[in-house]
A = this chain, B = another copy of it.
Amino acid sequence: MDDVAARKGRSKNRAGERAARIQDVARLAEVSTATVSRALATPERVSKEARARVLAAIARTGYVPNPAARSLRSQKTNMILVVLPDLANTFFSKILHGIEETLFAAGYGMIISDLDGSPAKEAHFAAFTAAGRVDGAILLNGHLFGQSRDGKGKPANITVPLVALCEAIPGADIPQIGIDNRAAARKMTEFLVSLGHKRIAYVSGPAANVLEKERFRGYRDALRAANLPFEQDLVIPGDYTLETGVAAGRQLIARANLPTAVFCTSDEMAIGLIRTLTLAGVNVPTEVSVAGFDDIEFAAAAEPALTTIHQPRRELGQAAAKVLIDLLNGRPSADRILLETALVKRDSVAPPR
């Protein structure tokens, strides 16, 4: 006999009994294990009396099916992996909320992987997924497991469905859920133009980022449509964080002639920028208008309240989870979903003087 039980005391609770197994329930209900299993999985295929006895026995023993055994047999884990570039980023929490509630309702659990910029970690979770620890994955990090950015298709060893959320993965043949970043950025820029702004600065995201590329195109689209010149000087690099917003603000202040409006491609950057301008005595919005992107919680509470692009974050999470669940159940599913954004007009944008 082996000693697993003795060594770890693993399946004993504090009272000392082992956790109930399907056999214990079967014995108590005076049926076979097959009948117990069927009473739970396909109750209509079991007689009323047997079912009642089984349920009574389950209640008495406190039986809960062992998931490892079930998973080993059925080859399903009922777990979904969510891959994030940065868990500490405010932007993701409401998306996660939407994912979690949808998965939960469908009987799935959520495992979170915060990549934190570590390729080793990404490789680990790719192997984790390949090993069948999850039934599917939602990727928020903009590229496929262990693949370079130009890679096509999904790696041969990953066999479970994948879904890309927010950051589209170019060339990957998996469903993509997100917003139309280009159109949204164009909409905001056009709004600024419509108020009379002619020199509109742009605070970018990380250059390699897919979102950034799309938003930048939208910005240029709007300028071109309005016959406004594109000035490289007005593009200020950022990475979506508060800190780079502050840095962008400092850079602007040091300039001879300020633009009349600044379009920041994240709310965090916009808030950092506004704060820096305000401290330097530059009034927002009377001297410089500032627009954001995302509509995070604090956008409305900022001073002045931020004009921004609203992303339906919770709905994005829900949509991605729903698509994945459809895939898992073999149901047909859209392979590209773009949710509507809205331009939210608050107080940080005004016509130029």
Contacts and interface: CB of A to CB of B under 8 A. Distances in A.
Nearest to A79: B111
Given A64-B127, A156-B14, A275-B303, A297 B242 contact: yes
A92 interface: yes
A66 interface: yes
A121 B104 contact: yes
A302 to B, nearest CB: 7
Count this chain's copies in the assembly.
2
Contacts of A66: 72, 131-132
Interface in A273-287: 274-275, 278
Interface stretch (A4-12, A44-52, A180-188, A222-230): A4-12
Interface stretch (A83-91, A143-151, A163-171): A83-91
A73 interface: yes
A314 to B, nearest CB: 8
A87 B62 CA distance: 30
A97 interface: yes
11 contacts: A8-B75, A10-B75, A13-B156, A14-B156, A65-B131, A67-B131, A88-B93, A96-B112, A109-B111, A110-B111, A271-B301
Given A13-B156, A19-B132, 6 more contacts: A8-B75, A64-B127, A67-B133, A90-B297, A242-B297, A271-B298
